[in-house]
Amino acid sequence: MSMEVVEAATVRDLVLDSVRSFESQVKVTDADVAEGVVSDGPASLVIRLKVDAHPHDSGWPQLRLRLSQRIRDELISVGDDRYPVLLMFAAGEWDKRDK
């Protein structure tokens, strides 16, 4: 099966749907998506999430890893094999991110 690149707007919607149904502890209110490259590797997706709430305990790194895998699984399900790189922004940082 050939892998078609899914448009950024479609990926954004997929990501938001995926994270909103993921865990009630994580509240993501916005996202943006851009194609990127990690080192000299294959194309990736840089996914920036506006996170208004998440757990502040030792379980957060594991939850974040599961969230990343969930997004990866969703991308694969629509034929997009790019690897997601998640960047998290607090509400107060969202407007200051590079666009």
Residue 94 pLDDT class (50, 70, 90 cuts): very high
Classify domain 8-91 at the CATH topology level.
GMP Synthetase; Chain A, domain 3 (3.30.300)
Mean pLDDT of 48-68: 82
User: 16 pLDDT exceeds 80?
Assistant: yes
Q: Nearest 5 degrees, angle CA 27-CA 68-CA 64?
A: 55
Lowest mean pLDDT among 42-46, 56-60, 84-88: 56-60
Every domain of the chain and the residues it spans: 8-91
Q: Are 75 and 11 in contact (CB under 8 A)?
A: yes
The pTM assigned to this predicted structure is 0.78
